[in-house]
Amino acid sequence: MHVAIARQALNGDSHCGDQCAAWEHGNKITLCVADGLGHGEYAEEAGRAAVAYVGQHLRESLQEIFAGCDSAIRHTRGVAMGIAVMDTRTKTLTCGGVNNISMMIVGQRTRHMICCDGIVGGGYKRFMTEVLPLGNGDMVILHSDGLKEIANLSNAIAADCTDLQQMADQLLEDWTCGTDDAAILIYQSRG
Ligand SMILES: [Mn+2]
């Protein structure tokens, strides 16, 4: 599984509300970024609770995962969350998100996926999923709003850079907004 994660808490805080995870299960790879509202200890609690819930319900549909997580983390501040599930057999990516996680596929062209309004743990409306083909070499990028909307992604990603971790670290450094926790997850489909 070719995944890189880069995270940074605001002001070097020991707590980071932005949590990321990737799981390989059967013929699926599930990618998740959760941004606990605000920052600090309680944001981290919310982010961790959301990611833990997702990890325990990987076999369910995205609709079920989001609905279950929304109920399960009501005691927290709640999160913005994006999930992308790669099916390695059908070479498709199924995505869904709530609030403002940026999700995109970067390949021959860049495609952005949409989040619905609301908060996981506080209720949301009109959740929908998108299914998109994923070509060999395509990258899937999920990031929190601690990074600015990355303008001209193909330029931002150095063409000669093949090291995903270096790419994630560089994008975090170059595009951090500096006023919030920040996290970026990059997955690349290979072979
Ligand atoms: Mn944030």
pLDDT digits (tens, 9 = 90+) for 112-143: 999 999 999 999 999 999 999 999 999 999 99
Model confidence band, residue 146 (pLDDT cutoffs 50, 70, 90): very high
pLDDT in tens, 147-180: 998 877 777 776 667 799 999 999 999 999 999 9
- What confidence score (pLDDT) does residue 157 get? 77
Of 134, 88, 91, which is closest to residue 113 (Cα–Cα)? Answer: 134
| Alpha carbon of 175 to ligand 1 centroid (Å) | 13
Two structure tokens written together for 170:
């560089």
Quote the CA–CA distance of 101 and 147 in Å, as a whole number.
Answer: 10
| Alpha carbon of 71 to ligand 1 centroid (Å) | 21
- What confidence score (pLDDT) does residue 156 get? 77
Quote the CA–CA distance of 60 and 65 in Å, as a whole number.
Answer: 6
- What confidence score (pLDDT) does residue 159 get? 65
| Alpha carbon of 160 to ligand 1 centroid (Å) | 30
Task: Look at 1 and 20; give whichever has higher pLDDT.
Answer: 20
| Alpha carbon of 4 to ligand 1 centroid (Å) | 19
| Alpha carbon of 39 to ligand 1 centroid (Å) | 7
| Alpha carbon of 16 to ligand 1 centroid (Å) | 10
| Alpha carbon of 40 to ligand 1 centroid (Å) | 11
Quote the CA–CA distance of 164 and 146 in Å, as a whole number.
Answer: 19
Quote the CA–CA distance of 186 and 44 in Å, as a whole number.
Answer: 21
Residue 10: is its pLDDT beyond 80? yes
Sketch the domain layout of the chain as residue ranges.
3-188
pLDDT in tens, 48-103: 999 999 999 999 999 999 999 999 999 999 999 999 999 999 999 999 999 999 99
- What confidence score (pLDDT) does residue 160 get? 66
Please provide the size of the chain in residues.
Answer: 191
| SS3 category, 76 | coil
| Alpha carbon of 41 to ligand 1 centroid (Å) | 14
CATH 3.60.40.10 given to domain 3-188: yes
| Alpha carbon of 93 to ligand 1 centroid (Å) | 24
Residues with Cβ within 8 Å of 144's Cβ and at least 6 positions away in sequence, in order, are 18, 33, 35, 80, 101, 102, 180, 181, 182, 183, 184
Please work out, in degrees rounded to the nearest 5, the angle formed at the alpha carbon of residue 11 by the alpha carbons of 50 and 164. 60
